[in-house]
Amino acid sequence: SAQRSGLPLSVILLDIDYFKQYNDHYGHIGGDDCLRAVAQALTQAANRPRDFLARFGGEEFILLLPETDEVAARQIAERCRLLIRTCRIPHERSPISPLVTVSLGGGTVVPRSAELALDFIGRIDRLLYRAKQNGRDRAEFAEPPAGPADQA
């Protein structure tokens, strides 16, 4: 759809910080409750009819945001982070916070026929990993490509 319309598509991958430690401490039932609370908070962050939220695996979620530019995607990522913080889910085993936090990676693309979806997701996944390396409880985004004014 984004390729046909020529409109931007933003993707945000997010991961619950130190979820293994959470599960080890609170048990798998507690972990499942945490996943449900995080998912519920995320539905408030991106709630337009075409926005799509899914569990991507384990403690990772993906947000697909059609017709969303990079500026709006950054705002949605920050809203995700803050909404999860306001859930006030205790996390006694996290070395960075007494509450559950998330790390996010995001990017925006206007897909072309040569653009491979898996390559784009791979780039977003590397940004998520960078957010974790840079201290967690943060979002990392791809730098936007240089525009014509930036190239002069």
Q: What is the C-alpha radius of gyration for the chain, rounded to an integer number of angstroms?
A: 16
Q: Report the alpha-carbon distance of residue 49 to residue 41 in Å, rounded.
A: 16
The verdict on whether 70 is a catalytic residue reads no
Most distant pair of Cα atoms in the chain: their distance: 57
Q: CB neighbours (10 Å) of residue 94? A: 20
Question: Of the residues 59, 60, 92, 143, which is catalytic?
Answer: 59
Question: Are 131 and 139 in contact, with CB atoms under 8 Å apart?
Answer: yes
Q: Name the residues annotated as catalytic.
A: 59
